[in-house]
Amino acid sequence: MSSLADNTSANVAAAKAGAEDTIRRGPPVEVVRYGIGKRINHWVTAISLILLLLSGLAMFHPSLFFLTDLFGGGQMTRWIHPWIGIVLFISFFILFAQLWKLNLPNRDDVKWASQIGDVLGGHEERLPELGKYNAGQKFIFWGMAALIIVLIATGIMAWEQYFGLLTSIPTQRVALLVHSLAAVAIILVFILHVYAAIWTRGTISAMTRGTVTGGWAWRHHRKWFKDMAGRGRIDPAE
């Protein structure tokens, strides 16, 4: 019993400090979803991905070659694209190390995915109560992780300046084909990610201010919310 009490007091202290996964009494009730570290990490990754998308598309289709002007011309675009890729890779996998456990699939995800119609129709009351992430978010997480690994591996093979002789030319041809297919795929995942965050109103503040409303957490991630409440991760009343 005393250990639980200790635990609770630690949780209260965390909540008082405004740590991640704690509830702010308010009113209105708010939940801290992401600490400052993860948010910076996320935005470094996001900005890198957007810059990679723009510079990559410039070299993908002639009709988009004008995008090289954003980077100071074709030579600069060619030079900077792989370096941004390195930044993205490191940044994403720092994030990955912190989030992968919570993104492991479970039984609820199968049910959630099988009732995707209810998700899109806004009938979340028909769905199981969820932890911090739903199956869609997990799909984006693992999809990004897998595609980033494919993109960095094939990207290095295609990085003429330093790795032009690392692999044979036939291998580099395959690498470039896979790189462009994976790039199309990650752009689709990216569109899904951005759109889901916009469509599900109240989500974006999780990555800007770090908080969501109590109602948002209650509606979309009730198990997560109840777990925080149950463990006393609520900042003490004034």
Partner 1 sequence: MANTMDSPRTAVSNPPVQPMETNLTQRDLIRRSATSELPQPERQLTPVAKLIDVSKCIGCKACQSACVEWNDTNPAIGENVGVYTNPHDLSADMFTLMRFTEWVNPETDNLEWLIRKDGCMHCADPGCLKACPSPGAIVQYSNGIVDFVHENCIGCGYCVKGCPFNIPRISKTDHRAYKCTLCSDRVAVGQGPACAKACPTQAIVFGTKEDMKKHAEGRIADLKSRGYANAGLYDPPGVGGTHVMYVLHHNDKPHIYADLPDNPAISAVVQTWKGATKYAGLAVMGLAAAGTILHGLFAKANRVSKHEEQEAQEAVDHADKREEDA
Show which residues are catalytic. 193
Among 13, 18, 25, 108, binds partner 1 (CB under 8 A): 25
Per-residue binder mask for partner 1 (CB under 8 A), 78-117, x = binder: xx--------------------------------------
Q: Which of 143, 100, 142, 119 is nearest to 220 (CA)?
A: 119
Give the CA dihedral 191, 130, 45, 192, nearest 10 degrees. 0
Binding residues among 138-177 for partner 1 as defined by CB under 8 A: 158, 160-161, 164, 169-170, 172-174, 176-177
Tell me whether residue 62 or residue 107 sits nearer to partner 1 (CB atom): 62
Does the protein bind partner 1 through residue 219 (CB under 8 A)? yes
C-alpha distances in Å from residue 125, one per residue of 107, 153, 179, 196: 17, 42, 41, 18
Strand order in the sheet with 211-213: 22-24, 30-32, 211-213
Helix (H) or strand (E) holding 170: helix 169-199
**CB of residue 208 vs partner 1: minimum separation in angstroms?**
17
Q: Is 225 exposed, middle or buried (0-12, 13-18, 19+ CB in 10 A)?
A: buried
**CB of residue 37 vs partner 1: minimum separation in angstroms?**
26
Among 14, 23, 99, 135, binds partner 1 (CB under 8 A): 23
Contact region with partner 1 (CB under 8 A), list: 20-28, 108-116, 132-140, 144-152: 20-28
Among 104, 116, 188, 204, binds partner 1 (CB under 8 A): 188
**CB of residue 169 vs partner 1: minimum separation in angstroms?**
6
Helix (H) or strand (E) holding 206: helix 205-208
Kindly give the residue spans of alpha helices, DSSP state H, lying in 159-168.
Answer: 160-163
C-alpha distances in Å from residue 107, one per residue of 54, 64, 112, 189: 38, 43, 9, 23
Tokens of 23: 């509830």
**CB of residue 54 vs partner 1: minimum separation in angstroms?**
13
Cβ atoms of 31 and 24 within 8 Å: the answer is yes
**CB of residue 198 vs partner 1: minimum separation in angstroms?**
6
Per-residue binder mask for partner 1 (CB under 8 A), 26-45, x = binder: xxxx----------------
- Eight-class DSSP state of 233: -
Residue matched to tokens 């109560």: 129
Residues that bind partner 1 (CB under 8 A): 8, 23, 25-29, 58-65, 68, 73-75, 77-79, 122, 158, 160-161, 164, 169-170, 172-174, 176-177, 180-181, 183-184, 187-188, 191-192, 194-195, 198-202, 213-219, 225-226, 229-230, 232, 234, 237
